[in-house]
């Protein structure tokens, strides 16, 4: 593991973070590395566990350097998805080959966290900086950023602006930033029937027939054609189940699971009610269970997106696209506090085998983050 000094090097710090195996939920070792990098920079570091099984406990970190003035927050996660088999090298042994640094978490999102730490080391002496880092963004996210927000509220900490270092760039660093995300709800449908012999259907009630009718009605729905900043909402069937091993038996239960990604024209509760009504029409005894992962949100173009876009353009010459595409992120929670924008590394290899980041992109991202802080920590930014 590369040693970390009081003036961190972005590549060395990224390597040190990658070297900690932190499959979600992240363990303490990776937080030790981050804390060691932050303490010499004047941050007070608050590490705490939140929640109980099955979704907890989760380790989180809230680091603050309070110098008055505007409060700029950076949010991210140190947990990673499982690496999977077939890597060209050990996924938790960081390795530079050619122009790329390989390792699980290189782009999602240990590299961005390292870049922000380096930027913070160079940042102006005015203003307040905070890092909101969870160990459970890739998992259930029940006791991660939500718990950090509660911790901040208890301490009276209120950021003015928040940047999340998710890998938003598509082809080149800085070509896209995220100003919003669609909402997400997963729905489980259970249709009970009455088991019986297939030769005597009048003595049974086939739940598959009812479920097929339910799914056909759902499939015919067009939720919307999109909105000003969002793509159309969509409903996808993600699982079907009967579990009937016999060829001559009508089963007693049929199940399905839906995933709905929805824009700012909808609320998760309204979509759940719509699906429930469809199920009840075809199967009055049907059961519907929903889990809303997050509502759609939007940070309209304004101070934060302009500030980030200007920093990107200054360093790269690129004018970033403002987008709301992709899956959910912890911005769905942080958007309740203040304006939130996501900007980070190129996402082409995130969650894939041989995840890698361009070394030059790590260095450039730290430079861009530094420019963002220079602008954001000015007294007039509040």
Q: What are phi and psi of 286, to 5 degrees?
A: -65, 150
Q: Identify the DSSP state of 232.
A: P
Please provide the DSSP assignment of 118-139 as one string.
Answer: HHHHHS-SSSEEEEEEES-SSS
Per the annotation, the verdict on 150 as an active-site residue is no
Beta bridge pairs of residue 189: 256, 288
Residue 374 CB coordination number (10 Å): 16
Between the CA of residue 73 and those of 121, 130, 180, 333, what are the distances in Å? 15, 5, 17, 14
In degrees, rounded to 5, the angle at the alpha carbon of residue 237 between the alpha carbons of residues 233 and 239 is 150
Per the annotation, the verdict on 137 as an active-site residue is yes
* Separation CA 301–CA 366 (nearest Å): 23
* Separation CA 173–CA 284 (nearest Å): 52
The dihedral of CA 341, 163, 56, 4: what is its sign?
positive
Instruction: List the catalytic residue out of 9, 59, 108, 137.
Output: 137
Instruction: List the catalytic residue out of 9, 79, 138, 361.
Output: 79
Give the pairing type, strands 44-50 and 58-65: antiparallel
Q: What are phi and psi of 210, to 5 degrees?
A: -65, -40
Catalytic positions: 79, 137
């Amino acid at each position: 593991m590369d040693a970390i000094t009081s003036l961190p090097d972005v590549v060395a710090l990224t390597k040190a973070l990658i070297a900690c195996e932190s499959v979600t939920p992240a363990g303490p070792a990776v937080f030790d590395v981050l804390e060691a990098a932050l303490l010499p920079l004047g941050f007070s570091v608050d590490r705490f566990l939140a929640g109980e099984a099955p979704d907890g406990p989760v380790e989180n970190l809230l680091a603050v350097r309070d110098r008055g003035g505007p409060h700029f927050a950076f949010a991210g996660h140190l947990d990673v998805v499982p690496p999977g088999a077939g890597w060209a090298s050990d996924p938790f042994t960081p390795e530079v080959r050619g122009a790329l640094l390989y390792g699980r978490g290189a782009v999602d999102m240990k590299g961005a966290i390292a870049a922000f730490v380096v930027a913070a080391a160079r940042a102006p002496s005015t203003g307040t900086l905070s890092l909101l880092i969870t160990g459970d963004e890739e998992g259930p996210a029940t006791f991660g950023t939500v718990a950090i927000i509660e911790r901040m509220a208890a301490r009276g900490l209120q950021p003015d602006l928040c940047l999340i270092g998710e890998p938003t760039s598509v082809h080149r660093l800085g070509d896209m930033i995220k100003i919003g995300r669609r909402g997400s709800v997963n729905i489980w449908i259970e249709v009970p029937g009455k088991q019986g012999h297939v030769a005597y259907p009048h003595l049974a009630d086939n739940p598959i027939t009812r479920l097929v009718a339910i799914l056909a009605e759902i499939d015919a729905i067009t939720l919307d054609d999109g909105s000003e900043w969002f793509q159309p909402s969509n409903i996808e069937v993600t699982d079907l189940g009967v579990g009937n091993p016999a060829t001559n038996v009508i089963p007693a239960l049929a199940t399905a699971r839906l995933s709905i990604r929805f824009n700012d024209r909808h609320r998760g509760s309204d979509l759940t009610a719509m699906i429930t009504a469809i199920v009840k029409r075809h199967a009055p005894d049907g059961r519907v269970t929903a889990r809303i992962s997050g509502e759609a949100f939007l940070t309209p173009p304004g101070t934060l997106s302009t500030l980030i876009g200007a920093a990107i353009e200054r360093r790269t010459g690129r004018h970033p696209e403002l987008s709301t595409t992709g899956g959910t992120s912890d911005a769905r929670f942080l958007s309740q506090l203040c304006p939130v924008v996501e900007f980070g590394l190129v996402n082409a290899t995130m969650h894939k085998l041989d995840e890698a980041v361009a070394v030059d992109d790590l260095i450039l991202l730290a430079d861009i983050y530094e420019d963002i802080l220079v602008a954001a920590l000015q007294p007039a930014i509040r």
